[in-house]
Amino acid sequence: MPNSSQATSTALTTAVGIKESIHHSRTTQSSESRFDSLRSEWTLFAPQREQRPDDFDVVTADESSSQGCPFCAGHEDQTPASVWVGRLSGHQGKKRYEIDTSGQPCGSDWDVRVVGNKFPAVQSFCNPIVDSSSETYLPKPANNAMAPRSVTGSSTSRSLFSRAPARGGHEVIIESNRHTRSLADVSPLQAELVFAAYRDRMRHYRNQPDVRYVSVFKNVGPDAGASLAHSHSQLIATNFMPRSVEHSFGLMRRHRATTGCCLMCDMIREERKTKDRVIARDNHVIAYCPFASHLPMMVRITTHQHQAAFEDLDDESLAAVSRMVYRVISWLDKIRPGTSYNYCLSTKPTSDEDSSDAFHWSIDIFPRLTRVAGFEWASGCMINPMLPEEAAKQFRHYAAAENPQRMP
């Protein structure tokens, strides 16, 4: 059996080989822009930019030590109380894990647990608002928006500097009682338990009357924004809908009203036809590199069948989704060992019950291979140095090695 350093060396050698095999095509391709129908934005593809020299090494933190880690078993007193606890049953069958939502102390007897974030981004609904006297809200657009100051009166300053309490919930999903770095470091069944936690906690917040959106995301590594190395993800529920979500949701609604079809479903059908960007698929889910990916090696995972909300997935579909995410992350770890990555789960806003036919949930996984620089900040247009077709080739190399018969 090869040791860990040999395995890492082999993975790096293979990754370099893949990179060199398509070096010529990258350097000879010209730049092009592609339109992202889900974001209504252009992405500028410049494959030749991947060959730029870089004087700055990526700094990776030492993630091997569990000393003092608040997420490891035995350190439960260092986090807020658990609101959800999952335990693997230890046997094969229908009931492969057990879930406890009693809120009782679990000690070290857990495999996945959910706790409140010790440093929340939003104020919990359980806590009273300390001072609401200064809150103002963005006004609705008015016909006199460009009227002289004498007409609009003193309310102008209030509308220019509006604020409101940010309320909801902020939770941490601790994905293992062991000190692991990535979701691919646990078992596939434990990864499924993590996704069961997502589903249950999203259902919980969907039933809160003041919640308008629930976001689930994962940061792995310092370049992805992780402050702790221990594998975990987060959930933030807000009493407002983020602007980018509202914009994307509006595009989906308009597509549905114009064509009678779901925008994501139409995209999936086209991806299945061309197969150029498809990485893997099974009876339930598909993984592909989006046509206008705004980040290199970005992968999107969703269900073949229309499903508006992730939290409405049945157990069979949930297991299929978790397996696919697990596989993609394991391939990414082989292509780019130790690379920081994020994934974000997009689901139907809780505040709109009438648009289930328009919205289609998805998960985007993206390694942090490039830095957002001046042009991106100035224009809002992302530069991607890798075409999605080429990114898909790298993923398919490992997908084929894993199981050639399950290739798209």
Q: What pLDDT is recorded for position 156? A: 64
Kindly report the pTM of this predicted structure. 0.83
Give residues with Cβ within 8 angstroms of 65, minimum separation 6: 179
CATH assignment, 76-122+165-406: 3.30.428.10
Per the residue annotation, which of 170, 179, 204, 232 is the catalytic one?
A: 232
Joined together, the tokens standing for residue 336 give: 């780019």
Joined together, the tokens standing for residue 19 give: 């990179």
**Residue-level pLDDT, tens digit, the chain, 408 residues:** 444 444 444 444 444 444 444 444 444 567 888 888 888 888 888 887 766 555 445 555 455 567 789 999 999 999 999 999 999 986 555 678 999 998 888 888 999 999 999 999 998 876 655 554 444 444 444 444 444 454 445 566 667 888 888 999 999 999 999 999 999 999 999 999 999 999 999 999 999 989 999 999 999 989 898 889 999 999 999 999 999 999 999 999 999 999 999 999 999 999 999 999 999 999 999 999 999 999 999 999 999 999 999 999 999 999 999 999 999 999 999 999 999 999 999 999 987 767 789 999 999 999 998 888 888 888 888 888 899 999 999 999 999 988 766 666
Give residues with Cβ within 8 angstroms of 109, minimum separation 6: 87
- For 90-97, which contacts have Cβ atoms below 8 Å and span 24 or more sequence positions? 96/189, 96/192, 97/189, 97/192, 97/193, 97/196
Closest CA to 287 of 303, 273, 274: 303
- Residue 292 CA to chain centroid, in angstroms? 17
Q: What pLDDT is recorded for position 140? A: 45
Residue type at 355? S
Residue 237 β-bridge partners: 169, 214
Q: What pLDDT is recorded for position 147? A: 45
Residue type at 23? H
Joined together, the tokens standing for residue 222 give: 């310092």
Instruction: Output the DSSP codes for 259-271.
Output: HSS-HHHHHHHHH
CA dist 151 and 94 (Å) reads 68
Name the strand (E) or helix (H) holding 236: strand 232-238
CA dist 35 and 290 (Å) reads 11
- 232 included as an active-site residue: yes
Give residues with Cβ within 8 angstroms of 86, minimum separation 6: 97, 98, 99, 100, 110, 111, 112, 113, 193, 196, 197
Q: Could you say which DSSP state residue 190 is in?
A: H
Q: What pLDDT is recorded for position 252? A: 95
Burial of 149 (0-12, 13-18, 19+ CB in 10 A): exposed
Q: What pLDDT is recorded for position 33? A: 86
Q: What pLDDT is recorded for position 64? A: 59
CA dist 403 and 400 (Å) reads 5
Hey, where are the domains in the chain? 76-122+165-406
Q: What pLDDT is recorded for position 335? A: 94
Residue type at 317? S
Closest CA to 369 of 344, 336, 396, 343: 336
Q: Measured on CA atoms in the order 90, 91, 92, 97, is the torsion positive or negative?
A: negative
Place of tokens 């300390």: 130
Closest CA to 174 of 119, 101, 228, 102: 228
CA dist 271 and 58 (Å) reads 34
